[in-house]
Every structure is written in structure tokens, then in C-alpha cells.
Amino acid sequence: MRLSALALILVAGCATQQPVQKEAPAAPAKEVAAPPPEPPKFVADLKKPMPPGLDEAAMDLSADPCADFYQYACGGWMAKTEIPADRPLYSRGFVSILERNEALQKTILEEAAANKLPEGTAFAKQLGDYYATCTDEAGLEKALPEVKKFIDQVAKVKDAKSLATSVGTIHAAGFRPFFDIGAIQDLKNSTEVIGSLDQSGLGLPDRDYYFDEDKKTVREQYKSHVEAMFGLLGLPAKDCQRKADEVMAIETRLAKVAQTRVERRDPNKLYNRINRDGLTAQAKDFAWDAYFTAVGAKDLKAINVNSVPYFVEVAAIAKDTKPELLNSYLTWVVLRSTTPALPKVFQDEAFNFSSKALTGAKADRPRWKKCVAYTDGDLGEALGREFVRRAFGEDGKARTSAMVESLQKSFEANLASLSWFDEPTRKAAFEKVTRMVGNNKIGYPGTWRDYAKLTTSRTSFFGNSLAANRFEVQRQLAKIGKPVDRNEWLMSPPTVNAYYDPQKNEIVFPAGILQPPFFDRAATDAVNFGSMGMVVGHEITHGFDDEGRQFDVDGNIKDWWSASVGKAFVEKASCVKKQFDGYTAIGDVKVKGDLTLGENIADLGGLKLAHAAMADWYAKKGDADSQFRFSRSQQFFLGFAQSWCTKVRDETAKVRAATDPHAPPFARVKGPLGNLDAFQTAFQCSEKAAMIRRGADRCVVW
């Protein structure tokens, strides 16, 4: 434990008992110099206009930006903003854009349901059928027999072989008992697409919810919820309680062997290409031939298993668990997965559990909002085509492309200056970032997904949802053994997010995020660099965070770092982990510095790169100094912070602290800024300012 300076002085004074000495004559008093005054708090010149793109009403100008920049940038917004009743959180950036996108998607889908989309709109029938049946709440009230029929088909296990067949049939329908199946690029040969088996099957947010003492109440609420849902199926109360116990027993067994979220951040721990023969040998008590036939991948041989011990336990469960317990579990997985297609009483029960235990939301989401989300999930690129046509301008794509190029140059300039890099590692990093930026995707796919084989109708949302699930499962399995599709997107165009794919070594920015406040055509370049430029820099840096750095330029797990440079990186990253371990998410729940490490490194690097790119951008433009009340650097940091203004319900904050690889928004603002010289200079912060990190506590990675 570190002691304060005062404590150290007191301990030193009492360490040993000294002989009593006579008092010496008092010396003449000397004038003690007064300590130097603290620099005054930064005060903006309110006579000058606000820069376009910043919201003065969102700010708390009475706050000290060097003590709490999140309060300074967002305090006004925080004070006046209420979280909508149907949301677990609300943000000035992500959620406000989501709501605008949601409204436009609703308009498109209502037109599709009414057969009023422009003539020739691709897959208009599928969109219209899906949304029309999803919003037909009267139709949902008649859906239970259809769902029960499916449950009766798949939850009649008698032995190990019938279990494997049932699990395969359920997986083919898009639900995930016990584990999940999909297609991935081989982590050590990124040109090859192979099968993937991964842990799944839990009904609570994370494995730790089944064991941690502070989550005992949530476990009890979950068990009561399972009982209630079985009751809605029409089972007697005593059977509901027994089945809930059986579900908890199986899920707890799975949780005990599941990898932690921190373990899953290490790609080497996820790579076990044992193929079909190895899987059959090590998890021999599961009837794999029957499973692969039922799921639609009878001849699949090339397989990566993310965790061998997990699948050994799945096989043990298949061998030693009574069929009635397995049927209870399979019924539950299907029931909870199909709740969106069931009568309102099922949806109300699901909301009551999630509200009390997990989200804190005060009202369930309106049906149309749910249906927009479901349609985007199942027909994202069909909906995205019309969304892009109406909402995304090519000028936004051009300006974002220019920003990406400027961030690449910023990364390269920074890389050239890093004294802890040697030349071979530096050369490899140059090659990786050059390829990454060359692979960037902005706005929407160049080749749209084909939904022609997805058959829909106006009679059943459950039927349409099931058809969409089966379409996607077969689409994934069909990729195995074929060349990597480098045109594929992992997010739909309306998505308010961005990502870096380490195996394709590409950065992707959907049209959905390229809107205010992240990207504002009317804002100053400085504000846009702080908001959207930081996002670009963040994704670039992901290629060199603690996970991304383990992949080479071709997307393969490979240690391309020299020993000394790798050691230096680990030391620098440990500083970031320690810093974020020190933040409190809510109450006595701390931020997990190891879980959030990659995102925190990306935030820190992204801000540094984007600020340097902004400075270079203005130098080339040759503009005079800004006439606004904030300098360019100040605009940059305010543009960044105001895109992260967020209010979160307590229940949601607890779940996110346990499961989210991102730190809370306040920490994502204050954390990286306290390490940046450019921020300290911009707001004239003293070394003693609360947010400024000093000496060995200052973290610098990229």
C-alpha cells in the first residue's frame, strides 16, 4: 500500500526513540516563502461564437476541465437528460444516432409492409413480410402452438444419439444450446475458411453470474423467471420448479468449464484446430456424426474448437445426464430464444426479469422498435440498401476516406519516432498499417448480400424468423472450404459502430455512425477529427493493441515483434491496465483493467493519432487561427468528449462492468486525456491538476 507524504513523515518521526535533549535557544524567525499560486482555471472567452458541431448547452462551464473534463464537456447534458423509460442507457452519441436511424428504418419498413417501396427495390417482399408479421401483435397471440410444435420435435431426447440430432436440428434453426457452430478464417492460415465450435448455451450474461456471491440475487431472479416461463407453457407449478432446477444445473455445469471473458481476449487460447477426428476422439461421448448430419454439415472435417475442455464436458453431460433433464434444458433454450415471436404475456415476463435483474429499464420497448432491430439483424443488408440510398451521401464517404488517409500518415509518423521500436519490428508495423488502410471499408458493401433463397410469408413471424435463422446458418456453413470473401461486412450499414477485423486486417465504418455528433458536415474540421477522427484512430490502433498485435499483416497469429519490443509493449500496456483498475464503475464495482485493456489502448492511441492528424490537416490548409471561443485543440477534445456523454442505469452499469470490454464512458474520456500532453497544453493544466497523470503513472503506448 502506498502511503501519503504526510503518513511517511509521521512514520519517520516515530521510528526510533531519541535521547531527550535540552532545548536550544530559539533562532530568529525566518520569513517562509509563500507557495507559488496555482494556475487559474481555464475560462473560455464567451464573447466569441461556439464552433459549429459543439453544444454549449451540453457543457458545464463552471467545472474545471483539468479536474474533470467529462463534467466540463457533458455536465449540462447530464443534468437535463433523462434516460427514456424503455432504454437501459442513453447517450448523446450512439443512442441519439440510433434513434434517428431507427426512425428512418421504420419508415422504410412500413413502406415495405404496405408494398410502397420504390419499384425494383431489392428483396422488398422479404422486408415487407418480415416486418408486417413482426408488428402483427394479434398474430403473435396465436403463435404458441407453432412454437410448441417445434419444441415437441426437438426436445424428445432418449439417448446420446437423439440428443446430438436434437442439438443439430436446433442449431440449424439458429438457436444455441450447449455450444455454437459457425465459419471462421483459420487463425494461423487466414486464407482458409474452416468450421468453428464455440462455447454457448448460458441464459445469464456471463459465466461468473453462476458463482459470484454478489450475483446471488440475479441467480434467484433468473430461476424464478425460468419457472414462470415454463408455467406460461401450461406446466403444473411443481413441474416448473423442477425444470428450473434442471436448467440451472446444466447451465452451471457449462459455466464451470467456460472460458472467462479475459481468457477469451487471448487469440492463442481460442485456437485448437483439432478437426473432426480430434473432436470425436477427445469428446467421444457426444454423437458427432449424428450432430453434423442434423445441422447440415455432414462432411465437415476442418474444425477449430475454441476450448477443448468445454467440449469434453459437453460430451460428459451427454453421457451422464438423464434425458428428462436434457429435454428441460433444450425446451428452455428454444423458449427463451423464441420469446420475441410469442404472445405478449411471454414478452412481459422476459422484460420483468431483465428489467429487475439486468437493465433497470422502466418500460418495455415499443413493438415497432423491436421489429426494426430484428429486421436489421436478419435482413440487415436488404434494409441497409434503402437506408444508404436515403441517408448517406458520397461526400461523407469521401471526407471519411480523406480522414482515414490522414490518420494513416499520423500513425506512420508516430511509429517512426518511437524509440522503443527496433527497425525490423517498425518495418513490419508499417507494412501492416499500410495494408489495413488500403483495405478500409466506408459506408456500405461494394457487393450486397443476396437474400433470394430466403422464403418469407405474411402468415407467421415465428416462421419468418425461423426461415431467416436457417438462411444465415446455412450461409455461414456454406463458406467453409471456399475462398475468403473479402467483400463481406460483419455489420449492417445502419449500425452505429465501427470495427477492426484482425484476420482481414481491415477497418470498417458503416454509414450508420457517419452522422452527427460523430461526423457532422456542418462542424469544424477540428470537431470532426475529435469525434470521427478519434473513431478512425481507435480502429487503426486496434491492429496494435494487446490482441491485434498478435496478428501479422496477413491476419495470422504470428509473433512478428522482436523480444525487446514485445517486452516494452507489455510493460506499457500494464500501465493502462493499472490505471483503469483504479476506476469505479458503480458503487463498489471496479472497472476491469484486463477486460477493457484493448479498448483503452485503442482510445489512447486513437486520440493521439487523430490530434496529430488534425494539426497536420490545418497546417496543409494554411488557415488563420480560429475565430471561435475554443482553439482547434480545445475543439478537438470537446468534440471527442461530447460524443461520449452518457447516462446509464445502475443495473446496466453493473452488467457492463462484468461483461463489456469497454470502460464506462466517463472513464473513456478522463482516462486517456490525463495521459496526453496535447490535452494538458490545450487547457493549460498544471502538473497538479486532478486529471493529469504524472511520472510513472502516465501511460504512453502508441
Bridge partners (DSSP) of residue 647 are 90
What the block records as the C-alpha cell of 277 is 477426428
Catalytic residue among 378, 552, 603, 651: 603
Peptide bond into 517 cis (omega under 30): yes
Q: Name the burial class of residue 23, with classes exposed (0-12), middle (13-18) and buried (19+) by CB atoms within 10 angstroms of its CB.
A: exposed
CA distance linking residue 205 with residue 190, whole number of Å:
30
CA distance linking residue 670 with residue 657, whole number of Å:
17
Beta-carbon-side half-sphere exposure of residue 651 (alpha carbons within 13 Å): 15
CA distance linking residue 121 with residue 675, whole number of Å:
50
Backbone angles phi, psi at 424, to 5 degrees: -60, -45
CA distance linking residue 164 with residue 197, whole number of Å:
14
Number of Cβ atoms within 10 Å of the Cβ of 123: 23
For residue 290, give the amino acid letter: A
DSSP structure class, residue 342: S
Cell 533562532 belongs to 27
What element of type H or E holds 472?
helix 461-478
Report the SS3 class of residue 630.
coil
Cα 262-266-271 angle, rounded to 5 deg: 125
CA distance linking residue 72 with residue 666, whole number of Å:
11
Concerning whether 603 is annotated as a catalytic residue, the answer is yes
**531: Cα separation from own chain's centroid:** 18
Concerning whether 192 is annotated as a catalytic residue, the answer is no
What is the maximum alpha-carbon separation in the chain?
104
What the block records as the C-alpha cell of 390 is 436515403
Q: Name the burial class of residue 390, with classes exposed (0-12), middle (13-18) and buried (19+) by CB atoms within 10 angstroms of its CB.
A: exposed
Backbone angles phi, psi at 18, to 5 degrees: -95, 150
Paired sense of beta strands 499-501 and 506-510, if any:
antiparallel
Paired sense of beta strands 584-586 and 506-510, if any:
unpaired
What the block records as the C-alpha cell of 518 is 460523430
Report the SS3 class of residue 348.
helix
Number of Cβ atoms within 10 Å of the Cβ of 453: 9
Catalytic residue among 198, 539, 546, 651: 539
Contact 591, 581 (CB under 8 A): yes
Give the residue numbers annotated as catalytic, written as ranges.
Answer: 539, 603
